[in-house]
């Protein structure tokens, strides 16, 4: 109300405002002079090459609004508006080799087989990870999608990335010849002017590898989860406010909030059940208020039944010589492990990378300066479902790396999947690509297949995953523990893998697909109260308790009927009514 009154007092009527679905984000078009009056500033035109932007060097708000407004855009963020094809200085660079049949062993035969159980060692080898290898390794090579009309999956493009249909067709012909050549497709959705380019890449795009990331994501998801419908969201929009550092001097952070506002405006029927994102920022390059707003908005999507999957980063705990961070607290930069956002947000599922087959171990490729990422947040407190396992790890670690990370912060990754030497086709050429950019769509595809199995049996999709993942991990179900390797960086050994959860590999990699479906589909009529075990629907609660996880409830949030998802709620012990409390 205070914000609306402030706008009204300055001549901005409520009728001219556009609200997000949850009414926590306001958009309005105003003359520059009006905005200058509102923010006590002056805007100027800035030019960089052929690009121009209108920005202010500084701005201010009335003091009584400080606690009510998280961010205002555009103000003093500088970035290339028309040229998002610039090199991205992020934690997850694409790391590739050109694959040549004349150099080294050929890729394994990828033709479908009638054999019930494939020999993993026979279909997976060092020359490249293929869909057949992943399907055999994670136990779903014989699974047939049964209810694609009830299911959906998606991926996101930022920074001018695209998914070339010609390359995808070549990939599927090579590695999934059982898929009809004209039997696959994906749906393009443009957000804030984003374009999924299908014309041949120009010289600049080829030089800067545009389309590699997009091709990797789409080829993995179609190669593993076909014929589950795939939607691709290409977002342009305005990058967030930015705090440069030596590791990230340029603003190439993604406009997550732009995409999130679009997604929240969709009806539940149009929301994909699982979404993979292979992009990440460095936590301290974002203002805390903005990061928290984005994280809370991810929670809203999770509350509506969407599983959000992110790659945990490809620089271990930080590139050697670049491990200095500034937490926007007025203090100078100091040596510290770097944290990836939004992986450190408790409401997304972060996926690390593994390599090797028997056993799998933490992925690292020194020649490409690739190390799977992990660590602890400085902006987000550790969620209660992480407490026991993370504290056990920290106790085992002792004082090693003391002062280089936040022991009380939210921990990531949650899980891992293969992320080493993936076979990909880009610009008609076969490449081998490393990175959690491969791990994220792999894990998302497995979730899509589990959702298919669940909905076919009339059960709900998984939705927000993390409490279930951590419960399954604590009981030793659902994941194969990865105990070999470490995520080095910052001129240190970084965090080692250990039995149980660790920041090098999370809880490990998915076990057999059948076992995962059995565990994920079991007993949904409960919630998890932080600090306790399962709590049944019929139990009596204190109204002060917070409930985290899935709850059987109707649209009116009555606990005895229908289906819904509640991330953070309170409950009335008298009426057993669930009261959502999203902020």
Q: Is the dihedral of CA 413, 215, 124, 144 positive or negative?
A: positive
Kindly name the residue from 167, 217, 434, 502 that is annotated as catalytic. 217
The mean pLDDT value for 42-52 works out to: 67
**Distance of alpha carbon 470 from alpha carbon 467, whole angstroms:** 5
Here the tokens at position 507 are: 């809880």
Given a contact cutoff of 8 angstroms between Cβ atoms, the answer to whether 289 and 65 are in contact is no
Model pLDDT, residue 363: 96
Please say if the pLDDT value at position 527 is more than 70: no
Please say if the pLDDT value at position 248 is more than 50: no
Please say if the pLDDT value at position 551 is more than 50: no
User: How far, rounded to the nearest angstrom, does the alpha carbon of residue 74 sit from its chain's CA centroid?
Assistant: 25
Given a contact cutoff of 8 angstroms between Cβ atoms, the answer to whether 311 and 436 are in contact is yes
Is pLDDT larger for residue 261 or for residue 254? 261
With a CB cutoff of 8 Å and minimum separation 6, the contacts of 514 are: 139
Model pLDDT, residue 525: 37
| All structural domains of the chain | 2-65 (no CATH), 95-520 (3.40.50.200), 526-580 (no CATH)
Query: What percentage of the chain exceeds 70 in pLDDT?
Result: 74
**Selection from 225-239, 525-539, 569-583 with the highest mean pLDDT:** 225-239
Tell me if residue 217 is catalytic: yes
| pLDDT tens sequence across 166-184 | 999 999 999 999 999 888 9
Given a contact cutoff of 8 angstroms between Cβ atoms, the answer to whether 224 and 443 are in contact is no
**Distance of alpha carbon 442 from alpha carbon 223, whole angstroms:** 10
With a CB cutoff of 8 Å and minimum separation 6, the contacts of 215 are: 163, 164, 167, 168, 171, 424, 425, 426
Nearest to 56 by CA among 26, 29, 36, 79: 36
* Averaged pLDDT score across all residues of the chain: 78
Question: What global pTM score does this model have?
Answer: 0.77
Given a contact cutoff of 8 angstroms between Cβ atoms, the answer to whether 385 and 530 are in contact is yes
The mean pLDDT value for 521-545 works out to: 37
**Lowest-confidence pick of 199-208, 309-318, 424-433:** 199-208
Query: What percentage of the chain exceeds 90 in pLDDT?
Result: 45
Model pLDDT, residue 365: 93
Model pLDDT, residue 515: 55
Model pLDDT, residue 549: 32
3-state SS, one letter per residue, for 219-272? HHHHHHHCCCCEEEEEECCCCCCCCCCCCCCCCCCCCHHHHHHHHHCCCHHHCC
| pLDDT tens sequence across 411-450 | 999 999 999 999 999 999 999 999 999 999 999 999 999 9
Model pLDDT, residue 53: 65
| pLDDT tens sequence across 95-133 | 555 554 433 333 444 434 333 346 788 888 767 899 999
**Lowest-confidence pick of 18-22, 56-60, 116-120:** 116-120
Q: Where are the alpha helices (DSSP H) in 343-435?
A: 387-397
Model pLDDT, residue 284: 85
Model pLDDT, residue 77: 54
Model pLDDT, residue 209: 83
Tell me if residue 296 is catalytic: no
User: Is residue 50 very low, low, confident or very high in pLDDT (cuts 50, 70, 90)?
Assistant: low
Kindly name the residue from 152, 312, 416, 437 that is annotated as catalytic. 437
User: Is residue 21 very low, low, confident or very high in pLDDT (cuts 50, 70, 90)?
Assistant: low
**Selection from 239-253, 281-295, 441-455 with the highest mean pLDDT:** 441-455
| pLDDT tens sequence across 350-397 | 999 999 988 999 999 998 899 999 999 999 999 999 999 999 999 999
Kindly name the residue from 213, 314, 343, 502 that is annotated as catalytic. 213
Please say if the pLDDT value at position 571 is more than 70: no
């Amino acid at each position: 109300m205070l914000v609306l009154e402030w706008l009204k007092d300055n001549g901005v009527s409520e009728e001219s405002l556009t609200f997000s679905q949850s009414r926590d984000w306001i958009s309005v078009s105003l003359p520059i002079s009006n905005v200058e009056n509102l923010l006590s500033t002056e805007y100027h035109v800035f030019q960089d090459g052929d690009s121009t932007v209108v920005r202010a060097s500084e701005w201010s708000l009335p003091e009584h609004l400080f606690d009510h407004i998280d961010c205002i855009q555009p103000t003093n963020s500088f970035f290339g508006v028309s040229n998002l094809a610039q090199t991205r200085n992020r934690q997850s660079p694409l790391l590739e080799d050109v694959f040549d049949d004349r150099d080294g062993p050929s890729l394994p035969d990828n033709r479908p087989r009638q054999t019930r159980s494939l020999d993993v060692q026979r279909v997976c080898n060092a020359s490249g990870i293929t869909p057949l290898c992943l399907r055999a390794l994670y136990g779903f090579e014989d699974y047939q999608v049964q209810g694609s009309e009830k299911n959906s999956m998606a991926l996101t493009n930022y920074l001018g990335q695209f998914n070339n249909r010609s390359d995808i067709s070549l990939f599927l012909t090579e590695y999934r010849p059982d898929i009809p050549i004209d039997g696959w497709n994906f749906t393009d959705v443009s957000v804030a002017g984003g374009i999924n380019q299908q014309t041949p890449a120009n010289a600049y795009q080829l030089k800067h590898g545009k389309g590699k990331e997009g091709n990797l994501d789409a080829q993995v998801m179609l190669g593993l989860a076909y014929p589950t419908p795939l939607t691709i969201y290409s977002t342009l929009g305005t990058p967030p406010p930015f705090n440069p550092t030596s590791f990230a001097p340029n603003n190439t952070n993604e406009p997550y909030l732009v995409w999130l506002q679009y997604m929240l405006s969709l009806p539940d029927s149009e929301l994909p059940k699982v979404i993979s994102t292979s992009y990440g920022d460095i936590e301290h390059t974002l203002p805390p208020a903005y990061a928290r707003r984005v994280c809370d908005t991810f929670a809203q999507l999770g509350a509506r039944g969407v599983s959000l999957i992110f790659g945990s980063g490809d620089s271990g705990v930080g590139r050697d010589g670049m491990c200095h961070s500034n937490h926007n607290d007025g203090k100078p930069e100091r040596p510290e492990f770097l944290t990836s956002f939004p992986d450190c947000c408790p409401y997304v599922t972060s996926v690390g990378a593994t390599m090797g087959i028997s056993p799998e171990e933490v992925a690292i490729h020194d020649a490409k300066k690739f190390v799977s990422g992990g660590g602890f947040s400085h902006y987000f407190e550790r969620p209660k479902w992480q407490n026991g396992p993370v504290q056990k790890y920290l106790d085992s670690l002792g004082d090693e790396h003391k002062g280089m990370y936040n022991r009380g912060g939210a921990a990531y990754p949650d899980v891992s999947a293969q992320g080493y030497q993936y076979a990909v086709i880009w610009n008609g050429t076969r490449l081998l690509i490393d990175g959690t950019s491969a791990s994220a769509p792999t894990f998302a595809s497995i979730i899509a297949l589990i959702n298919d199995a669940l909905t076919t049996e009339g059960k709900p999709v998984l939705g927000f995953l993390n409490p279930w993942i951590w419960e399954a991990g604590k009981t030793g179900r659902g994941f194969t523990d990865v105990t070999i390797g470490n995520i080095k960086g910052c001129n240190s050994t970084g965090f080692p893998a250990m039995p149980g959860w660790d920041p090098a590999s999370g809880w490990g990699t998915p076990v057999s697909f059948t076992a995962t479906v059995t565990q994920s589909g079991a007993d949904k009529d409960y919630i998890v109260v932080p600090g306790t075990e399962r709590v049944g629907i019929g139990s009596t609660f204190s109204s002060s308790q917070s409930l985290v996880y899935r709850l059987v409830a109707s649209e009116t949030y009555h606990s005895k009927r229908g289906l819904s998802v509640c991330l953070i709620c309170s409950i009335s012990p008298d009426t057993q009514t669930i009261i959502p409390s999203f902020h």
